Amino acid sequence: MSKPTLQIELRTAPHVHAPRSVENIMLNVVLALLPICFFSVWQYGLSSAVLIFTVTATCLATERFFSSKSGKGNTLGDWSATITGLLLALTLPPSFPLWMGVVAGFASIALGKALFGGLGFNPFNPALIGRAFVQAAFPSTIASFIPAFAQQRFVEFAPSTLTAPMMIPADNAGWIKAAAIDAFTGATPLGRWKFENFTYSAHDFLSGSVTAAAGETSAILILLCGAYLALRKFMDWRIPVAVLGSAALLAWALHLAVPARYPDPAFVLLSGGLMLGAVFMATDMATSPVTPLGVWIYGALIGVLTVVIRYFGGLTEGVMYAILIANAAAPLIEQFTQPRTYGATKKVAEK
């Protein structure tokens, strides 16, 4: 009778040491994102719903194409492409033309994931790669927004949503006027602060009435969904705490120094995509460090860079670039924060 053999399974990151599969973790992230998607549809209506569907479907189709061409078979069951599609759609303006959403979805999977070999090999967050691509390709369109809670949002698309491919996006002015919103401005709170020195109250952000990307106005909902993942140990809670804590600390210091110029920490934390980025993008297992000290440094780097880019850069938002820069720095952070093995001694340089 032959002796039983020991089989060892080698897998790429993310690595789990509990009786949970990568697929199960990813599925829970999808479930945590769904309430944010539903809230976006409630805010912006048909345009947001069809944008989320189109971008996610494009990501799934692109993932299936490249996985089949690489001989990996069907990889849609790991849910990673679904997460990429949902996150990407939530970072785009609700009225973003659908054909541009297709371009963003294709770029996120092709350039952000397939190019590097698939799940676990990508050094950058794929959703942010797609967002960065369309920001460079369509800079004016990605800065165009529509008001939340417009009266006709469930019976009409915003005109720019159905713009034909390679055509100039339609003007939403008539749709906005029909929304019966008097003081609407197309600029986001960050844009109005940077160029008009106008700030919003915390109530404006928490009520979801400000102008923003599809998934950037539900701060409380994002935190609740993140808490669900953290409690189930599907997310490293230290990363969002480090991101938000470092951003708040730097914003507080600058506000104390020059209160007339720099807004208070609440404005920094609630505006733009910082909350969504800190909870769902910075925590990507494949692109973030795993060492205990490394995750704190990584999160703090994102928070500090976000504030620096917002305050001193030419762009109104800095979360996307802050996370991508931190993704690039993650291997170096991990290398210098490796805990010393118990009983090991430092190497003495040879003379």
Q: Which residues span the domain enclosing 167?
A: 18-144+146-185
Tokens encoding 101: 């959403």
Provide the pLDDT for residue 214: 82
Percent of the chain whose predicted confidence (pLDDT) is above 70: 85
Q: Where is average pLDDT lowest: 114-128, 165-179, 297-311?
A: 165-179
Amino acid identity at 291: T
Tokens encoding 58: 């494009």
Cβ 218 vs Cβ 260: under 8 Å? no
The answer to whether residue 88 sits within a structural domain is yes
pLDDT tens column, 137-153 = 999 888 888 888 888 88
Helices (H) and strands (E) in the chain, counts: 14, 0
The answer to whether residue 61 sits within a structural domain is yes
The answer to whether residue 44 sits within a structural domain is yes
pLDDT of 301 > 90? The answer is yes
The answer to whether residue 74 sits within a structural domain is yes
Provide the pLDDT for residue 186: 58
Assess whether the previous peptide bond of 14 is cis (omega < 30° from 0). yes
The answer to whether residue 179 sits within a structural domain is yes
Residue 181, C-beta contacts closer than 8 angstroms, at least 6 positions apart? 147, 150
* Closest-CA residue to 119 (of 129, 109, 128): 109
Provide the pLDDT for residue 183: 43
The residue ranking higher by pLDDT, 148 or 297, is: 297
DSSP string, 132-188: HHHHHHSTTGGG----TT-TTTTT---GGGGPPTTSPPPP-HHHHHHTT-TT--SS-
Predicted TM-score of the model (pTM): 0.87
The span from the CA of 163 to the CA of 85, in Å, is 21
pLDDT of 1 > 60? The answer is no
Provide the pLDDT for residue 182: 44
Q: Where is average pLDDT lowest: 95-109, 144-158, 205-219, 260-274?
A: 205-219
pLDDT of 122 > 60? The answer is yes
The answer to whether residue 257 sits within a structural domain is no
pLDDT tens column, 74-97 = 888 889 999 999 999 999 999 999
The span from the CA of 118 to the CA of 197, in Å, is 44
Long-range CB contacts (within 8 A, 24+) of 304-311: 304/246, 304/247, 304/250, 306/243, 306/247, 306/274, 306/277, 307/247, 307/250, 307/251, 307/254, 307/268, 308/250, 310/190, 310/194, 310/268, 310/272, 311/254, 311/262
The answer to whether residue 222 sits within a structural domain is no
Give the total number of structural domains in the chain: 1
The answer to whether residue 132 sits within a structural domain is yes
Mean pLDDT, all residues of the chain: 86
